Amino acid sequence: MPVVNNHSERMRKFKNKGKDAAALRRQRAEVSIELRKAKKDEQILKRRSILFGLVDENLPLEEKRDEIIQLSLEEIVEAVNGSNTMLQLQATQATRRMLSRQKDPPINQIIELGIIPKLVEFLTRADNAPLQFEAAWALTNIASGTSDHTKAVVEGGAIPAFISLLSSPHMHISEQSVWALGNIAGDGPLYRDALINRNAIPPLLALVSPVTPVGFLRNITWTLSNLCRNKNPYPPLDAVKKILPVLICLIEHEDKDIISDSCWAISYLTDGSNDRIQIVVDTGILPRLVELMARPELIIMTPALRAIGNVVTGTDEQTQAAIDAGVLAVLPHLLRHAKPTIQKEAAWALSNIAAGPCWQIQQLITCGLLPPLVELLDKGDFKAQKEAVWAVANFTTGGTVEQVVELVRSGVLKPLLNLLLAKDSKTILVILDTISNLFLAAEKLGETERLCLLVEELDGLEKIEALQTHDNNMVYRAALNIIEKYFSGEETPGLQPGTGQDGLYDFSVEKQDFNF
Amino acid sequence: MELSDANLQTLTEYLKKTLDPDPAIRRPAEKFLESVEGSQNYPLLLLTLLEKSQENVIKVCASVTFKNYIKRNWRIVGILVEDEPNKICESDRIAIKANIVPLMLSSPEQIQKQLSDAISIIGREDFPQKWPDLLTEMVNRFQSGDFHVINGVLRTAHSLFKRYRHEFKSNELWTEIKLVLDAFALPLTNLFKATIELCSTHANDASALKVLFSSLILIAKLFYSLNFQDLPEFFEDNMETWMTNFHSLLTLDNKLLQTDDEEEAGLLELLKSQICDNAALYAQKYDEEFQPYLPRFVTAIWNLLVTTGQEVKYDLLVSNAIQFLASVCERPHYKHLFEDQNTLTSICEKVIVPNMEFRAADEEAFEDNSEEYIRRDLEGSDIDTRRRAACDLVRGLCKFFEGPVTGIFSGYVNSMLQEYAKNPSVNWKHKDAAIYLVTSLASKAQTQKHGITQANELVNLTEFFVNHIQPDLKSASVNEFPVLKADGIKYIMIFRNQVPKEQLLVSIPLLINHLQAESIVVHTYAAHALERLFTMRGTNNTTLITAAEMAPFVEVLLTNLFKALTLPGSSENEYIMKAIMRSFSLLQESIIPYIPSVITQLTQKLLAVSKNPSKPHFNHYMFESICLSIRITCKANPDAVGSFEEALFMVFTEILQNDVQEFIPYVFQVMSLLLEMHKNEIPSSYMALFPHLLQPVLWERTGNIPPLVRLLQAYLERGANTIASAAADKIPGLLGVFQKLIASKANDHQGFYLLNSIIEHMPPESVDQYRKQIFILLFQRLQNSKTTKFIKSFLVFINLYCVKYGALALQEIFDSIQPKMFGMVLEKIIIPEIQKVSGQVEKKICAVGITKILTECPPMMDTEYTKLWTPLLQALIGLFELPEDDTIPDEEHFIDIEDTPGYQTAFSQLAFAGKKEHDPVGQMVNNPRIHLAQSLHKLSTACPGRVPSMLSTSLNAEALQYLQGYLQAASVTLL
């Protein structure tokens, strides 16, 4: 079973203490199956352009004056497929309206009308900007639906059409195309790469300029972030290298949404192997990310923290770069943040820093991370407590004896032992391993007995004893092991002689040649 | 096997025979069934029988046989393992899976249970991949409306899903859970709602309610399993439904569901208890999502506690409910739910105090089952009790509200004490609760070894002790209010580190007095409290309570302790025996006047318990006490050893003759101690026993080996000459024991102990003829299976040999076994491994031995061995300069007596039979470094110029520097 292997792998590393601490670092998402609701603080994958209220600022001015024309689905099909440009525009507009209403847009029905190829064709009508725009908007909203919906748009041939519209002389059309492409890219690695292969990136990046309006820039940033998003496979390296310099500029913008989406993009680019992380580290962006981690706005703090969290899953040098950028000064505040997910992300980052070599662990101590870690262990949300347990476990694996003593001195033992009551087998096992680590350190100091008393005083002994009846085999064995080794007070063959005539052992041996 | 009537008939016959009480009939039938279980259709025949047999007993028997068959055979261990063939053919597997669910559901309960177990065993292997339709099949039954069927499904589901509660997160597991949630969560929710509705429509139908509540319990359990790993999307979306209904079930009561039974929890209690668990799960893991519901649950659970009675049947529910509150009140963001003074008062008054009361069941245990009572009360096996839960809640509340809670309880304590004072004989339970309350309020941290180690500073422990504990213990009658006496004694015991010493001294005579109490709990506690007080440390690592301070009480203490062993129920009371041991150890020579009587009583006890040793701890402390009597007495008067032998040997002989395995290792240790006390030649009584000690049967038991080796060492120390002259024919047998031990990796060090004693003490000529053999044996072990432990012992031995017989003798015997052997051992073993030797004496022996090789062995100077001279010297300097191991101080009083004695009587080492460390080179060499310098000096005068030249050519600079230091210290120079 993979779990067992992971665990023994970890134990192996633990025994080769200090040799390969990087292996203790845990990448994001150990399990790809989720039982939970999709996370609320994730960045939105696809967006629909919705009509809010009566007045919509995004609309071209003339439209607001026009009367709204209601058409039936049949009328739409007929008009779209007809040859009257005016009717085509009206029908497209009606379609777009339906797709833009706040509740239950009839995406499926529209797809079933079979008008997508026609709408795609309208995108190419350079002579009719309103029609281009309406078609682009309608298609954007179709692509904002499920994967099947996006697929319908892509298979209708929309990708090349939208890419060429990026260079449209009309800014609102170009902006709508950016949006549509964002939805397509957000569907997954397949369409993302389809866009990249069709060279969508250069015209997209060309839209970024000092005079680009903020609203437009937001759309571009968001679409860029979707082009960086998703693994299996990652976006091609040369695409990343093209996007990164622009992201580095965008992340310096003052608009919160632009900063947020740039951070998300960076967080996607760092969510991978160490060479991917290195590309980001090389841009020198880390100090800015750390600065943004400390911002009060959740939409900025969250992705910045994620990005930094990803960086510290990397090599010791990459982690050091994050430390040099000041991450340790910001983490205490985040570990105490009111929002559980922030606590959890921060603790996860901390656990990966604690998996580093002892000089990094020392920096962690020097920067005052132990008090908030102990607090979190004691009072944090359960998700955050789990990460904090990992942090302590890694600390005790890679830290020197003196550092471990420091950890115990900061009061880690009580909350750690309390968490033996956690309703999560893995957490319990990690704590038991940590306790073993603590005992190894105590043995080196000749303080085993003191640690035994401390564990008993803090009601840890009875909890460990109770775990000897745990249903999980590994948990119960780990508990048993500790009890036998430290709390039971108990200590614990060819040259056999024959028996001679007197009934006693016969003392005899045959000589052989010796060579040691 | 065909599915024929004839086969069914045969199978019926055999099944019937397996129920026969006569093994001659039963065993062959079982064998037969086992021999045919690999045949095709066998499981289907069983299923047919359990469904259709005319006889109920055969039905049940078939179902059990079927379950066991599945248990043994369903799992395919490995396709490649040839001796573990797949006994169930594929078509049978398919048929079983197709039929078992409906069969289970239509069977009577007795059979349903067996089949349900079988389904979960099969499910563990096949579900979900190889049994995809199981879930749908089960879920479809929810609509049947037949709750017999529904409960069958729920029970099976529970046994399939409960592993989600303890397994590690993995892709495989979560995929399965996701699949289960998709198919099961909605139907389960609908069933939950429907069942609750049915409960109100059938609110007046007791039998219907019972079935419905059984379903609700199972549904609540399934909820727990399905929500354990993470909060599933479905349950987050439907939290309102589940939590609202759970909440109202918590507050529900129905007379029809109340049971008369006082002990066994009823359906209502079981359901509420599970709901508490579910709420606790959400509160712990999904706090963010559960927050809106939590206050409601706190109120409901608290009301539940207020209204629930004292009967034992509510214990689990109450304990779960209190633990829920305890876990919530520690969280900073729920602090506000508790901080109101009225709330706190009400929790204290209505939840904590009532659950701390001494109940009828406790009283019963106190009187009739005191052993269990003591274990629970003293050793903390009280995790699930109400008192313990209440205690945890106090500690939880104290985290934020220590001041207010202490204040509220002080009021209660005072009023309870006043109640008691009004009429002690009626209201003594109030005082018990008051003491318990003070204890739980005051104790913040506790260990067995030291009692309470951190106390609430707001509680004045000494004042309470003086005003309320001592008066009880001072009362004239030791038998009045035994529970309060026990409470008082326990108070002293656990707060011994908080109460000032003068108060402890005042308590000692009181405790001694209570050794006479009739109540087992009371005199046991008194003994235990004394024992704990006697182990307390004062300044300078001495005992807190000194022998001088105990002087006035010695006689009464010893008298009462031994008398307590005659009280009914305490004849083998380990607490009393441990107190005896500890008293001896503390009092030392002041017990000497009482020894004659003490040793008589101990030997009588020994004789009595040796008939049937059943209390390992008691026995262990008894032998420790015997050892202490011997040591203390003989230290003052060595001649007294004879009278001990006189008193003990008869019992010892009986123990050895009757082969009382539990006691033999102890007897050998006591005998060693006695023998070592002799100053002169070994008495003949010991020599008569010598041949018996070499009997192989004794050496086959591992527990005997250490004490027997120890005893033989004592024989060699005191009687080597006698053995050489009067028992020379036993020397091969003695060496045979050595050979036996050396052959084992576990016992080889014991073999070396023996060998070292032989070399050290036996006259050389008596072992001359065996010496070569001994080395050959050791070399063989070295060659075939060397371990670090062996090498360490080997190095010590050859150096001891060298010290005893001289370096030249060592070289000669090695080279006589095989040419150039000496050089090989030096080069391959001694030089590279010598640094591994640990222990001060061991290192010293090696240092002196190697010094001899360097300076008193001519072949080292003028043969091909010469090239090894400098490396050997360097190795020796390395040995010197390694950090020394700390020696164990000669401080035996505090040695924690191990809890070793078990069923297998592994070696039970007696701390007070301890052997003094023996240094065979002690007299010869005081400082081995100086000795080396002097020996080198002597060598250099014999062959001037050689030594400095060897040093300068190849000794490394650091070692040379050390060596110069030694030479300087010895004030010698090398020529």
Residue contact B782–A3, C-beta within 8 A: no
Q: Give residue-wise pLDDT tens across range A471-491.
A: 898 999 899 889 888 887 532
Q: How far away is chain B from the Cα of A415, in angstroms, using its nearest Cα? A: 12
Please write the tens of the pLDDT for every residue from B397-432: 888 888 898 888 888 899 999 999 999 999 999 999
Could you tell me which of B807, B797, B923 has the C-alpha nearest to residue B857? B807
User: To which residue do tokens 């048929």 refer?
Assistant: B95
Check whether B787 has a pLDDT greater than 80. Answer: no
Cβ-Cβ contacts under 8 Å, A500 against chain B: 732-733, 736
Q: Which residues of A touch B740 (CB under 8 A)?
A: 496-497, 505
Best of B159, B166, B334 to mutate (most A CBs within 10 Å, chain A): B166
pLDDT at position B749:
87
Query: Which residues, listed in sequence order, are joined to residue B543 by a DSSP beta bridge?
Result: B537
- pLDDT-derived band of residue A247, with 50, 70 and 90 as boundaries? very high
> Nearest CA to CA, how far is B453 from chain A (Å)?
7
Please tell me the distance from the alpha carbon of residue B863 to that of residue A475, in angstroms, as a whole number: 62
The span from the first CA to the last CA of chain A, in angstroms, equals 43
**Averaged pLDDT of chain B:** 88
pLDDT digits (tens, 9 = 90+) for B225-284: 999 999 999 999 999 999 999 999 999 887 888 887 878 888 999 999 999 999 999 999
Do A3 and B168 make contact, defined as CB atoms within 8 angstroms?
yes
Q: Does residue B467 have a pLDDT over 80? A: yes
Of B171, B746, B784, the CB nearest to A494: B784
pLDDT in tens, A424-448: 999 999 999 999 999 999 988 888 8
Instruction: Tell me: pLDDT of A378 over 50.
Output: yes
Of the candidates B168, B285, B739, which has its C-beta nearest A423's C-beta? B285
The single-letter code of the amino acid at B572 is E
Distance CA B157, CA B97 (A): 15
Which residues of chain A lie closer than 8 angstroms to B231, CB-CB? 35-36
In A72-128, which ranges are continuous DSSP H helix?
73-81, 85-100, 107-112, 116-123
Res B381: pLDDT: 59
Rounded to whole angstroms, how far apart are CA atoms B166 and B278?
A: 15
Please, which pLDDT band fits residue A10 given cuts at 50, 70 and 90? very low
pLDDT recorded at residue A39: 62
Query: CB of B819 within 8 A of CB of B898?
Result: no
pLDDT of B886 reads 33
Question: DSSP per residue over B520-577, as a string?
Answer: HHHHHHHHHHHHHHHT-B-GGGSBSS-HHHHGGGHHHHHHHHHHHTTSTT-TT-HHHH
Contact assignment for A425 to B742 by CB distance below 8 Å: no
Q: Which residues of B touch A35 (CB under 8 A)?
A: 174, 177-178, 181, 229-233
* pLDDT at residue number B661: 87
pLDDT tens-digit readout, B620-633: 999 999 999 999 99
Of the partner residues A33, A456, A496, the one whose CB lies closest to the CB of residue B178: A33
Sequence-distant (≥ 6) Cβ neighbours of residue B299 within 8 angstroms: none
Every domain of chain B and the residues it spans: 552-660
End-to-end CA distance of chain B: 98
B884, burial (CB in 10 Å: exposed 0-12, middle 13-18, buried 19+): exposed
* Inter-chain touch B829–A503, beta carbons under 8 Å: no
Q: Check pLDDT > 60 for residue B349.
A: yes
pLDDT digits (tens, 9 = 90+) for A113-135: 999 999 999 999 999 999 999 99
- Least confident segment among A42-46, A299-303, A465-469, B378-382: B378-382
State the smallest CA–CA distance between residue B175 and chain A in angstroms: 7
Quick: pLDDT tens for B554-573.
999 999 999 999 999 999 99
- Residue B901 confidence (pLDDT) above 80: no
Closest residue of A to B828, CA-based? A516
Q: Which of A33, A34, A483 to mutate to test the interface with B (most CBs of B within 10 A)?
A: A33
Q: Which of B168, B779, B817 is closest, CB to CB, to A426? A: B168
CB neighbours (10 Å) of residue A252? 12
DSSP A1-38: -HHHHHHHHHHHHHHTTTTSGGGG---S-S-S---SPP
pLDDT band with cut points at 50, 70 and 90 for residue A19? very low
At A516, is the pLDDT very low, low, confident or very high (cuts 50, 70, 90)?
low
Any idea how long chain B is?
Answer: 975
The answer to whether B889 faces chain A, any CB pair under 8 Å, is no
**Secondary structure (DSSP) of B601-640:** HHHHHHHHHTTS---HHHHHHHHHHHHHHHHHHHHH-GGG
Q: Among the residues of A327-412, which ranges form H helices?
A: 327-335, 340-354, 358-366, 370-379, 382-398, 401-409
Please tell me the predicted confidence (pLDDT) of residue B882. Answer: 65
At residue A16, the pLDDT reads: 31
Mean pLDDT of chain A: 86
Q: So what's the pLDDT on residue B893?
A: 52
Question: Bridge-partner residues for A306, per DSSP?
Answer: none
pLDDT at position B863 = 83
The pLDDT tens digits of the residues spanning B653-710 come to 999 989 898 899 999 999 999 998 888 888 888 998 899 999 988 898 888 888 999 9
Contact B648, B633 (CB under 8 A): no
Cβ contacts of B383 on chain A, cutoff 8 Å = 462, 466
Report whether pLDDT(B63) > 60: yes
Percentage of chain B exceeding pLDDT 90: 53
pLDDT in tens, A58-78: 444 444 444 566 788 999 999
The residue among B737, B856, B767, B840 whose CA lies nearest residue B803 is B856
- Which chain B positions have a beta carbon within 8 Å of A36's beta carbon? 230-233, 236
Q: CB-based contact (8 Å) between B236 and chain A?
A: yes
- Work out the minimum CA distance from B476 to partner chain A, whole angstroms: 37
B728–chain A Cβ distance below 8 A for any pair: no
Angstroms from A492 CA to nearest CA on chain B: 8
Q: Which two tokens stand for residue B823?
A: 């050089």
Nearest Cα residue to B820 out of B762, B764, B868, B882: B868
Supply the pLDDT for residue B795.
94
Provide the β-strand partners of residue B452: B446
Nearest alpha-carbon partner for A368 in A406, A339, A341, A338: A406
Residues in chain A, total: 516
Q: CB-based contact (8 Å) between B817 and chain A?
A: yes
Nearest residue on chain B to A37, judged by CA atoms?
Answer: B233
Instruction: Tell me which of A76-85, B386-395, B718-727 is least confident.
Output: B386-395
pLDDT at A502 exceeding the cut of 70: no
Is residue A224's pLDDT more than 80? Answer: yes
Give pLDDT, residue A512.
65
* Nearest chain B residue to A379, by CA: B331
B53 confidence band (pLDDT: 50, 70, 90):
confident
Pick B733's closest partner by Cβ from A30, A504, A516: A504
